[in-house]
Homo-oligomer: A and B are copies of this chain.
Amino acid sequence: MASASRTGRRPGDSGSREAILGAARAAFAAGGYEGTSVRAVARAADVDAALVHHFYGTKHGLFLAALELPGDFTAALPALLEGDVEALGERLVTFFLGLIDAEATRGPLLALIQAAMTNEQAAELLRVFVTRQVISKIIAALDVPQPELRATLVGSQLVGLAIVRQVVRVAPLATAEATAVVAAVAPAVQRYLTGDLTQAATRG
A contact set with B: CB distance below 8 Å = 84, 86-87, 89-91, 113-114, 116-118, 123, 126-127, 130-131, 146, 148-149, 152-153, 155-161, 163-165, 167-174, 176, 180, 182-188, 190-192, 197-204
Contact = CB atoms under 8 A, between A and B. Distances in A.
A141 to B, nearest CB: 16
Contacts of A199: 183, 187
Chain A interface, >50% SS class: helix
A196 to B, nearest CB: 9
A155 B127 contact: no
Contacts of A202: 86-87
B169 A156 contact: no
Contacts of A172: 146, 148-149, 152
